[in-house]
Amino acid sequence: MVSLVPESTTSDTTVSHPRSPTETTESTQMLSPMDRKATRVMRYREKKKTRKFEKRIRYASRKKYAEKRPRIKGRFAKRNEVDADQAFSTMAMFDT
């Protein structure tokens, strides 16, 4: 009752990644620390050129809602706070 299982050879197995770990470490070890830093700095500068600082509205519905909400000194306020603030300002006008 001996069952034979064929042994897999190295040619039968497939590699799921293109490089082996030893190849990757060898290529990074070839660069000196100064070269690695220079490479990183160049990459940073290239990415910095593509940055976008202009204001971008992601959700139009949120913008509409924010424009409709009441504000006091530029900050969002509850409706009853706005009513109280308006009442206070009208009372102050009558006192003068």
**How many of the other CB atoms lie within 10 Å of CB of 70?**
15
Question: What is the average pLDDT across 13-36?
Answer: 66
Domain ranges within the chain, ordered by starting residue: 60-95
Locus of tokens 């220079």: 38
Q: How far apart are CA 95 and CA 65, in angstroms?
A: 36
CA angle 21, 46, 41 (to 5 degrees): 60
Largest Cα–Cα separation, the chain: 110
Residue 24 has pLDDT above 60, yes or no: no
CA 10 and chain centroid, separation: 43
From residue 51, give the alpha-carbon distance in Å to each of 41, 43, 66, 83, 90: 16, 13, 27, 43, 48
Model confidence pLDDT, tens digit, residues 28-58: 568 898 999 999 999 999 999 999 888 888 9
Tell me what the pLDDT averaged over the chain comes to.
77
Answer yes or no: pTM beyond 0.75.
no
Residue 78 has pLDDT above 90, yes or no: no
Percent of the chain beyond pLDDT 70? 62
